[in-house]
Amino acid sequence: MELAANLTRLLARIDAACAAVGRDPGEVRLLPVTKYFPATDIAELYRLGRRDFGENRPQEAAAKAAEPIGTGIRWHLIGRLQRNKARQVVRWAHSVHSVDSERLATALGAATAAARDAGERDTPLEVLIQVSLDADPARGGVEPAAVPALADAIADTAELRLAGLMAIPPQAADPDAEFARLAELHTRLRARHPGATELSAGMSDDLERAIAHGSTCVRVGTALMGTRPITSA
């Protein structure tokens, strides 16, 4: 019941944010962030109509992906990824939101090709470029000036599909200013790669501002799942 109530409130927030800027709510996808929460909660969200789920840790995500929750689930890795985990991730991931180097893109492309050869997946891997808006290497992401070259490299990798951009605003920064920067980068990316339509931006505290600046995917944990695991009925 708590998950259902939280989901209703969250979808109402997204609808209101879209209405405030004249956007169609169908343009914005909710990506529940389910890290640390059990598969039973994901099963409840599935029952409530959710099919996309975001995870930060490859090992935790792989265990959940192996659970018999239901068909049609799309798992998204939104946390940082080491190249040596690429082979593991492509077995279950629909997309990776945190690609920030050509070396990682190359590893994901090779891992996807191997997984397809082994019959472990039958589609290319969708990837988003994580943009660093604060130049903090600890938080991951590529410098804005390096986005075009990385985008070209991904687009040239047969087993990858360049989906768009992802970013997390610096904690001390003005979210509106940072989301505006990200939106400008996305506009430039789409001029060169029209299919890269995804803009993954906005979380529990700032999703309205992200939507105002064109976000197509809001990654929400706390406002939906709570601050600690919810015991599902």
Q: What is the DSSP string of the chain?
A: -HHHHHHHHHHHHHHHHHHHTT--GGG-EEEEB-TTS-HHHHHHHHHTT--EEEES-HHHHHHHHTS---SS-EEEE-S---GGGHHHHTTTEEEEEEE-SHHHHHHHHHHHHHHHHTTS--SPEEEEEEEPSS--GGG--B-GGGHHHHHHHHHT-TTEEEEEEEE---TTS-HHHHHHHHHHHHHHHHHH-TT--EEE---TTTHHHHHHTT-SEEEESHHHH-SS-----
What gap in Å lies between CA 47 and CA 52, rounded to an integer? 12
- 43 in any annotated domain: yes
Residue 135 pLDDT > 60, yes or no? yes
User: Region 155-171: what's the mean pLDDT?
Assistant: 95
pLDDT band at 233 (very low <50, low <70, confident <90, very high): very low
Q: Which two tokens stand for residue 76?
A: 């998204």
Mean of pLDDT values over 27-40: 96
Cα angle value 219/142/186 (rounded, 5°):
60
The CATH number of the domain holding residue 19 is 3.20.20.10
Average pLDDT over residues 57-85: 97
Q: Are 86 and 106 in contact (CB under 8 A)?
A: no
Q: Report the distance separating Cα 224 and Cα 181, nearest Å.
A: 27
Q: Is residue 231 part of a domain?
A: no
What is the pLDDT at residue 195?
98
pLDDT of residue 229: 58
Choice among 58-72, 76-90, 134-148, 193-207 with the minimum mean pLDDT: 134-148
Q: What is the mean pLDDT of the chain?
A: 95
pLDDT at 81 over 70: yes
Tell me if 232 is assigned to some domain: no
Residue 8 to residue 37: CA distance in whole angstroms: 19
**Residue 126 domain flag:** yes
- The region that residue 58 occupies, defined by phi over 0 for left and psi between -120 and 50 for alpha, beta otherwise, is alpha
pLDDT, average across residues 51-57: 97
Structural domain harbouring 75: 2-225
pLDDT score for 171 = 83
Question: Residue 141: pLDDT above 90?
Answer: yes
pLDDT value at residue 228: 64
**Is 163 inside any structural domain?**
yes
Q: Is 112 left (phi over 0), alpha (psi -120 to 50) or beta?
A: alpha
Residue 207 has pLDDT above 70, yes or no: yes
**Overall pTM > 0.85:** yes
Asked whether residue 34 carries a pLDDT value surpassing 70, the answer given is yes
- Please give the pLDDT value at position 134: 86
> Does 232 score more than 50 pLDDT?
no
Predicted confidence band of residue 137 (pLDDT cuts 50, 70, 90): confident
Q: Residues 5, 11, 14, CA angle at the centre, nearest 5°?
A: 145
- Total domains in the chain come to 1
Domain membership flag for residue 73:
yes
Residue 193 lies in a domain: yes
116 in a structural domain: yes
Amino acid found at 177: A
Mean pLDDT of 202-224: 97
